Structure 1
Amino acid sequence: MLRAPFIAVLVLACLGCNESTRASAINDDAFSPALFANPPSEFGPQTRWWWPGASVDDAGLGDQLRQFVEAGYSAIEIQPFMSALTNADLDEDPRIRAVGDATFLERLRTAACTAQELGLHWDITLGSGWSTGGVGIDDDGARQLIAAELTLEGPSSYSGPLPYPDPPAWIEGTNRIVPAIDGFDQELRLVSVLGAEVADEPENPPATLGDVVELADQVQDGTLGWEVPAGTHRIFAVYENRTRHFPAGGAYPGELEDARVIDHLDRRGVEAFLDSEFGAWLEAVSDCPPRAVFVDSFELVGELPWTAGFGADFETSLGYEIDPLLPFLFLEGGESEYVNILRAETVARYQATDDRGARVREDYEALRSARFSQELIETLRIWLQDRGVELRLQAHGGYADILDAYAMADVPESEGLYAGGSYDFLRLSASAAHVGGKRYVSSETFVSVGRLELTEQETRILMGRAFSAGINRLVHHGNAYRYLHQDGQRWFPFHPRDDSAFSTGPVDLSFDIHPDAV
């Protein structure tokens, strides 16, 4: 049963939610106290509905959907994954790791059509777990550049093997926060071999490099022969490999690590996922289609995010080669969003004696942003548009300009966890919606850290902050399908247990509205 005080808050959030008040009757240029007190249901509260993978049944789905209607929700968002489920659960219940199979698609259709019959709008997350990915897309998974270094003193003659990279520290750092990296990919492709004089190397980065020279023509069978000039010089062997990033909490068949996060910088990544996995989901609910597909915030990782053809695209777009300037692109500690969000700042590993280093990093980020927007967001938006489905998007944490990316979505969405849910951060999605002429802007709301519940006053404050920032749809984070662990305790995906097969860390990331949950 839903907790009574929270139902009262939901009713206040909806403030009547009159279905008879049509969008066409709303004058967006004038404030109406009467309409604010009795808005149409399209602006009513909605909830994220977590499923324990594919382990749901028709009766349970129908019962909970009816309860959502009684509680005052106007829409739901289905998100199947396996956060906080235990190893015992996985051993005894093979239905958890069955997202995408025929039975899952039948259950998805049951939920979709029941929601439609009850007058509930429904959305669905783009796949299982986050960031977006699936099984069988390894060749279209996320890629990176990684540099191995060797320091030489000159003048001298060097003849020896190229340096080989060690696993970067952010892999372990990421997995301590959220298990999402399946080790270090040893299948390396050599991209460039460079040498540069170290002009200055203070205790803390960035170090300063002089002129960079290309040395690839002096490499044979993995051995570099080079006459080292006077001074301290550094060799850079730059390789490309896969990040081995898998969707956190994904409940696809097999092991977590069998899936891979798609390449977000090449449309082949999202197209592979749509063709091999998600297209079947929408086909299964074609007679009860979702209102929107939701893309959660982009927690992406990589030493230096890259994709096939990026170097050639850079030269075509910017008019100069990127390879001789690769050392200036790397950031100290890499680019794991999970790790870097906890840092005060990120700094370049190297700088040039002039503005070359800063310029190439700026140009790299500009092209990366453009590719992220066009290859991923626009490709997905058009694919959904062709099927009559909207794109609901949390743009933060990705590589695109955040305002531009928000504005590309049909429904830009903010959240209360990222950037502490500050008013200024919430304003970004609302501003993008205003500039882009979007009618709706939503926010993942009622997220807390280390709390099992929020008071009514706290929920009012969170709602008020969102509304005042320009948000007009609140997404409650969230409600869990009624599933019992093998020990009889109620499942809630953001209340981690000691025996969880996957969890988001040692603290709670959301509050639970179910009084019988532990």
Structure 2
Amino acid sequence: MNRFLLFTYLAFSSVFLCCAPDNKNAIGTADWPEITPTSKPWTRWWWMGSAVDQQNLSSLLEQYQEAGLGGVEIAPIYGAKGYEDRYLDYLSEDWLEVLEFTIQKADSLGMGVDFTQGTGWPFGGPQVNLEEAASAMNIQDYEIHDGKRLSDPIIFQRRNENQPLAKLVAIMAYDEHMHAKEVTEFLKEDGMLEWAEPGNWNIKAIFLDKTGQKVKRAAPGGVGFTLDHFSKAAVDSYNSYFETALSGKDYGFRAFYNDSFEVYGADFTAGFFEEFEQLRGYDLKEYLPYLEMEEGSEIVRRVKSDYRETINDLLLGNFTKNWTTWAHTQGKITKNQAHGSPGNLLDLYAAVDIPECETFGSSYFPIPGLRRDSADIRNVDPDPIMLKFASSAAHITGKNLVSSETFTWLGEHFKSSFSQMKPEVEQAFLAGVNHIFYHGVTYSPEDVSYPGWLFYASLNLTQQNSLWPHIDEFNQFITRTQSILQTGKPDNELLVYWPVYDVWSAPKGKMEMITVHAVDEWLHPTEFYKQSKNLMDSGYSLDFISDDMISTSRVEQGRIQTSEQNQAQVLIIPSTEFMPIETLKNILKLAEQGAHVIFQSKPKSTPGYPIDQAAMQAELDQLWETLNFENGKSEHGNGQVILSNSIQSALEELEIERETLVDSGLDFIRRKTEDGTYYFLVNHSPHEINQTISLNVTAEQLVAMDPLTGSRGILESNILGSKTNTSIFLKSGESIFIKALEESIETSLPSWPDYSKAERKQDLSTNWSLTFKEGQPHLPPSQQMDTIQPWTNQGDPSADDFSGQAEYTSNFDLEKNEGKRYVLQVDQVYESAKVWINGEYAGAIWSIPFQLDVTEHLKNGSNSIKIEVANLMANSIRYLDRNGIQWRNYHEINFVNIDYQPFDASNWNTMPSGIGGKVQLLEF
């Protein structure tokens, strides 16, 4: 790296660290951490056809900033029909000009920008020539019987006339006993194989083929072949193209971004067999029949494991690490989604600066009143353990940020509410995510009529969305939460080894794509998953660790130090079939240094197909025997190795304490700071929680911090032994932070109110006026309501078709008692409400339970109340489709529903909109 680039990178790194700090609070503070651009949610920003201009870019960024977004990730894709004259070719001079303008404008607003290194996904484009394109191993089979020569020529058989001719790599012959001979030298120019030996032979002609995959959803100027991620030469060429394209100016974006690995059919690259032999020690060509088999014989599993490990090595070394190293020379960082790839997810996530996971689909939460219509969700159950691969990689390697592509296909278009998003994003937070990216916001110019340009798989949180005027409150919730979750260090006591070789040895198929959508195959049946889930459900905090991560860990004062920022108390090895000898040696080395290690069982064997397999097995067995267990325990150096099928019992013997608060139904995650510990407590159970809980810390003072409103207060607590007890009250759907301070501080904060039992209830449900403020397709007439109710299904078609914001107003008398707290409670909000009391803004109600403390805004006597409700876009979109009004007209995929079928809302039922049930004022 030359001195200029080194200075640029170091300077940029300083800026990045400023934007994503440890957020170390001053010692002994109960304040919220500093709000930075990185604390705020960011979004993927779809540039349809790159049909962008400075005026709209400026206006939209200002709207995004005002709504509370901290940054954008530019993602050019296909365009809208009829606007082709506005399209800008990707990386053209005009395109780079608007990129520079975007970055400068965002910077002036205190926002960040990330840059997708290509259009659509995955990496690829017109600069990727055929040689550099994604490759596949194509094997053609022939038979020789009774020692006769092959009568047919060996010629590559194309799938169609447009398929390029593949390059012949080798010709192998296999006899009936699977003995192999390479016979490539006997192939003549006319394709005839002039070779024969006695017996029957299977002939395999191995070709370096091209998958032919083009970039999905490519933008103008981005159409072309998908990149060969396994080839260093191809990746270097790809990076060089961007280095040249961006070399004219210092574009101040933060990170290069890479989406999930969706390179279909790519399982080979030039020089693969040579790489394989160098890494694995034998010639794979001699064992190809085993690679093609589906049966689970020993040799099949071992050969496939070696093949998949080699693919992993090439992806990790030639693409992920190589790409990140190159990005650093450009003064940038990398953000990458490792899932979907055929490699070791932990190592791939760890090889970049910001690991990014993905929430896809809708989770089931037993929160009463939470809408989850089966017709509006995909048949996918997101698993938070999947998210922990990214957060674990970040924690283990000392990286602060863990991002997430969030709300991808959360529900059917135009039907997703903030109340549905909240538990989904909380689940991500609990898994260690702390840098949310919405999927997503589509750039839509001002002159495009409602509903604007929309992306086919997006949540479509655009400025045209009827919820947009209320998104600032949702963003503030995420911002407050992330400001804490980006503070300090992770505080997890356990490390759980992920036996990736057990995954790689699966007999089915050739490649093992470790995807979000196939967790039922590669994750859920494993002891690793079962033990991890049981431990988490029992109240333990943990991270996953790979073979390589174990090799770089050390022990200090009895704790396993994986980086300067992360340590743990115990290493757990769930039942594992295949473990490399080096990994076992590294585990025992940690024990010698003072670590506690728990094995659920002895690793059965070493992975792969070594020539000296018997010797490897003997070495593994001998190494294990040196432990010389007595009653399942082995004192090993300064540490201890425990053999127990009950991992939790072993942890109890080691006095590693779980957080018993989970017995109440709470979920949690902890962050450690210089002055104490943050607990994020979430109630996703179906019932309210009102009881005393214990925290596994000794805290002189507890501060409650509500990320929904920003309110804070002192919790009564007492220390009992090494624990701190406090009473907690959370309704189903609520969450709260508790900061456990090691030393008491002087503060003007009040005591945290007890909301567990209302002393008085006042019904405010009668005598309301309803006025429609802004929305589509038309503003319905105002209404007078004897009793407050939704504006839909009341006999007014214009109200049924309306999407936008409407105001409910009323007056009430209150006998206000000093020292009491008053909570406005609404039975049902469809879908978000902002509240004004006596002309003062009191806050928002958008999540279950629908309630808001309005004490400070009330007065004794007469009070006025205004509730502005924003509903979903669904009703107005249904109106457009029922009336044949064209609004979706895009190139390529156009617009599809959640099942990837043509979208049509004309048969939708009216979505309830407004206020439902009672409105009450509760006194506490």
Please indicate, yes or no, whether the TM-score normalized by the shorter chain is above 0.5.
yes
Unaligned 5+ residue runs, structure 1? 1-19, 169-182, 199-208, 331-347, 511-518
Residue number in structure 1 paired with 2:454:
492
Deviations 1:245-302 (A, max 9, x none): 2211122438x3xx122221122222222222x225544551x511111111110122
The answer for the alignment partner of 1:214 in structure 2 is: 182
Q: Tell me whether 445-454 or 366-375 shows the greater mean CA deviation.
A: 445-454
Aligned mates of 1:21, 1:121 — CA distance in 2: 9
2:133 aligns with 141
- Once residues 162 and 289 of structure 2 are traced to their aligned partners in structure 1, the CA distance between those partners, rounded to angstroms, is 21
2:252 corresponds in structure 1 to 289
> 2:396 matched to which residue of 1?
435
- Tell me which of 391, 395, 405 is aligned to 2:348: 405
Structure 1 residues 212, 184: closer, same or farther in 2, change over 3 A?
farther
**Which whole-Å CA distance do the structure 2 matches of 1:321 and 1:267 have between them?**
21
What is the aligned partner in structure 2 of residue 150 from structure 1? 142
Q: How far apart, in 1, do the equivalents of 2:447 and 2:299 lie?
A: 57
Give, in angstroms, the shift of residue 60 of structure 1: 0.2
User: CA distance change for structure 1 residues 27 and 366 in 2, over 3 Å: closer, same or farther?
Assistant: farther
Aligned residue number for residue 161 of structure 1: 153
* 1:441-475 alpha-carbon deviations (Å, 9 max, x no partner): 01011111661131222101111111111111111
**Aligned residue among 192, 195, 200 for 2:170:** 192
Alignment match, 1:26:
24
Structure having the larger proportion of residues in strand: 2
Q: 1:68 to 1:153 in 2, by over 3 A?
A: same
Q: Deviations over 1:18-56 (max 9, x none)?
A: xx998354269x9997537x7544221111111113210
Q: Which amino acid aligns with 1:501?
A: H
Question: What amino acid does structure 2 have at the position aligned with 1:279?
Answer: E
Q: Distance in 1 between matches of 2:232 and 2:28?
A: 42
> Quick check: 2:208–2:270 contact (8 Å CA) kept in 1?
no
- Tell me the equivalent position of 2:272: 310
Deviation for aligned residue 1:161: 1.2
Q: Distance in 2 between matches of 1:48 and 1:494?
A: 14
- Does 1 or 2 have the higher relative contact order (CA < 8 Å, sep 6+)? 1
**Structure 2: which amino acid aligns with 1:125?**
T
Provide the secondary structure at the position in 1 that maps to 2:202. Answer: strand
Q: In the alignment, residue 897 of structure 2 is paired with which amino acid? A: V
Question: Which amino acid in 2 is paired with 1:79?
Answer: A
- 2:359 is aligned to 416
- Name the structure 2 match of 1:301: 264
Letter of the 1:398 partner, please give it: S
Aligned equivalents of 1:167, 1:128: Cα separation in 2: 27
| CA 248–326 in structure 1, closer or farther in 2 if over 3 Å, else same | same
CA distances 1:89-145 after superposition (whole Å, capped 9, x unpaired): 4xx514436111000000011110000000001111111111111213213222222
**Whole-angstrom distance in 2 between the partners of 1:213 and 1:31:** 73
Question: What's the offset of the Cα at 1:492?
Answer: 0.9
Once the 2 structures are TM-superposed, how far is the Cα of residue 431 of structure 1 from its aligned partner? 0.9
Once the two structures are TM-superposed, the CA of residue 485 in structure 1 deviates from its matched residue by 10
* Aligned match of 1:514: none
Give, as a single letter, the amino acid of the residue that structure 1 aligns with 2:219.
A
| 2:205 corresponds to | 237
TM-aligned CA deviation for residue 153 of structure 1: 4.6
Q: Is residue 406–residue 413 contact of structure 1 (8 Å, CA) maintained in 2?
A: yes
1:495–1:460 distance in 2 versus 1, CA, 3 Å: closer
> 66, 73, 95: which one pairs with 2:69?
73
Give the whole-Å Cα distance in 2 for the aligned partners of 1:106 and 1:370: 38
Aligned pair in 2 of structure 1 residues 282, 229: CA closer, same or farther (>3 Å)? same
Q: Quote the residue 2:426 is aligned against.
A: 464
Conserved in 1, the CA contact under 8 Å of 2:135 and 2:268? yes
The answer on 1:253 being equivalent to 2:249 is: no
Residues 468 and 63 of structure 1: is their aligned pair in 2 closer, same or farther, counting only changes over 3 Å?
same
Show the counterpart of 2:319. 376
Which has the larger displacement, 217-226 or 406-415?
217-226
User: Is 1:392–2:392 an aligned residue pair?
Assistant: no
Match of 2:101 in 1: 110
Pair 450,44 (structure 1): closer, same or farther in 2 beyond 3 Å: closer
Q: CA deviation at 1:156?
A: 4.8
1:447 equivalent among 408, 411, 414: 408
Q: Secondary structure at the match of 2:400?
A: coil
SS in 1 for 2:306: helix
CA contact (8 A) 1:449 1:508 kept: no
1:504/1:314 Cα in 2 relative to 1: closer, same or farther (>3 Å)? farther
In structure 2, C-alpha distance between the alignment counterparts of 1:112 and 1:381, rounded to whole Å? 21
Match of 1:12 in 2: none
Q: 2:86, 2:40 → 1: CA distance?
A: 33
Give the counterpart letter for 2:385 in structure 1. Answer: D
Q: Determine if contact 2:88/2:94 at 8 Å carries over to the other structure.
A: no
Residue-pair matches, total: 435
Larger helix proportion of the pair: 1
TM-score, normalised via structure 2 length:
0.44
Partner secondary structure for residue 358 of structure 1? helix
Instruction: Report if aligned partners of 2:335, 2:356 keep a CA contact under 8 Å in 1.
Output: yes
The one-letter amino acid of 2:382's match is G
The one-letter amino acid paired with 2:356 is E
RMSD between aligned alpha carbons?
A: 3.4
- What code does the residue aligned with 2:260 have? S
Q: TM-score if structure 1 supplies the norm length? A: 0.75
Which of 172, 184, 192 is matched with 1:223 structurally?
192
Q: Deviations over 1:298-329 (max 9, x none)?
A: 10122x62222222222222222122223333
Report the more deviating stretch, 100-109 or 245-254. 245-254
Provide the C-alpha distance between the structure 2 equivalents of 1:430 and 1:393, rounded to a whole number of angstroms: 12
* Residue aligned with 1:444, SS: strand
CA distance in 2, matches of 1:211, 1:484: 69
- The answer on whether the counterparts of 2:146 and 2:199 sit within 8 Å (CA) in structure 1 is yes
TM-superposed CA distance for 1:508, in Å, is 4.1
- Summarize the Cα distance change of 1:321–1:164 in structure 2 as closer, same or farther, 3 Å threshold: same
Counterparts of 2:248 and 2:52, CA distance in 1: 16
Amino acid at match of 1:167: R
Percentage of matched positions with identical amino acids: 26
Amino acid at match of 1:188: A
Is residue 326 of structure 1 aligned with residue 288 of structure 2?
yes
Task: Tell me if structure 2 keeps the 8 A contact 1:112–1:285.
Answer: no
C-alpha separation in 2, matches of 1:472 and 1:409:
16
Q: Residue 47 of structure 2 contacts residue 442 of structure 2 at CA under 8 Å; is this kept in 1?
A: yes
Amino acid at match of 1:192: A
Unaligned runs of 5+ in 2: 1-17, 362-379, 459-886, 901-924
Give the Cα separation in 1 of the matches to 2:73 and 2:65: 14
Counterpart in the other structure of 1:360: 303
Residues 272 and 53 (structure 1), Cα distance of their counterparts in 2 relative to 1, 3 Å cut: farther
